[in-house]
Amino acid sequence: MKFPNLGSCFFFILFAAQCGFPTISEAVGIQLPGAPSSENRFGFFIFGDSYVDVGNNNYINTTSDFQANFPPYGESFFPVATGRFTDGRNIPDFLGEYANLPLLPPYLDPHNDLYDYGVNFASGGGGALALSHQEQALGLQTQMKFFKRVDKSLRKKLGNARTQSFFSNSVFLFNFGGNDYLNPFDISYDIFKTIDAQEQFVNMVIGNITKALKEVYKHGGRKFGLMGVPPLGYMPSSRLKKSAQFFEEASSIARLHNKLLPIALHKLSKQLKGFKYAFADTHTLLLQRILNPSRYGFKVVDTACCGSDEFRGVYNCGRKLGSLPFTHCKNLEDHMFFDSFHPTEKVFKQLTEQMWSGGLEVVKPYNFKQLFDYEPTTLASQ
């Protein structure tokens, strides 16, 4: 998701050319539990931001704002912090579990060069636009470069036909938009003041996403999962701003993205034979919990468990930033947000359960169980 602005070079506003990729630094890998490597019929590949990152940012040249490989991150599940921006597991972890896959490693883990079950390319702070945190995170364009390297590696190992079959059976998850929409507000609250400006910007973000989907399709991918942009105005970091204008415009552009993305996906399904997708309305799922917390087992939805200042909205969980030390709650299970931007493992698990087996009101036209279960020949004939 979104992180504090670390430089106003982002201000391409509204629509400058894409550019630049971060430098990767060497780092020590974190070994995660998983099944023994073997050739698998299908895999799971993840592209996106901090809601789905499992530790790629541990291995890039960035700052602690864009990392989560230190306590208290991971405290609810992992013996050490892995780089996930929550207290435990996140959505790809649970989806993989439900699909009977092991925990997928980050692509940049130097100990990982096998992709028999897929791999995770996501990067905290990454956006669909290259200029979203271009110096601190791995954007969609860089993640796609990594995917092409994986494709090349698999084709060398398995041959073209088997790699094509593997990709056609696999699921490709994309989660982008939050960073692209929140970053411009660090420059001005007037950037998205008109609906025309919002539409033009959203179309650019979705255009980059659909371009990537088409590229994966060319390499054999047929089954795609997409997540909606969360309710940006309700995060603890957003509440700290105490700006009605920010709340209205951030909420509006998130709703617009979540309206236009399914339309674009439906068009792709008509254009590309065998292209099938699951769009998870994570915006609605999160908002349901924010507006009716007790129904889902929460007591605190406005204040993060870890951070500082009002709502613990200052993004310094586990970090030594400025004069405000972070504080950590004693009642984690009651909280929706672990830090000022990111939900708790409890929330991620609840969302994933509905993404996996939910009805059309939360995930459509297929849920993720159906998407994983479908055979490409079955998909192509529908």
Question: Residue 335 gets which letter from DSSP?
Answer: B
Segment (H or E) for 226 = strand 223-227
Nearest partner of 106 among 71, 73, 170, 59, judged by Cα: 59
CB 308 within 8 A of CB 326: yes
Residue 232 to residue 51: CA distance in whole angstroms: 13
Residue 171 to residue 368: CA distance in whole angstroms: 9
Q: 373 an active-site residue?
A: no
Segment (H or E) for 44 = strand 44-48
Q: 266 an active-site residue?
A: no
Q: 339 an active-site residue?
A: yes
Residue 29 to residue 59: CA distance in whole angstroms: 8
Among residues 65, 87, 109, 339, the one annotated as catalytic is 339
Among residues 133, 283, 335, 342, the one annotated as catalytic is 342
Among residues 50, 123, 170, 308, the one annotated as catalytic is 50
Instruction: Give the CB-side neighbour count of residue 132, counting CA atoms within 13 A.
Output: 31
Residue 125 to residue 180: CA distance in whole angstroms: 9
Nearest partner of 106 among 54, 43, 147, judged by Cα: 54
Among all residues, which ones are annotated catalytic? 50, 339, 342
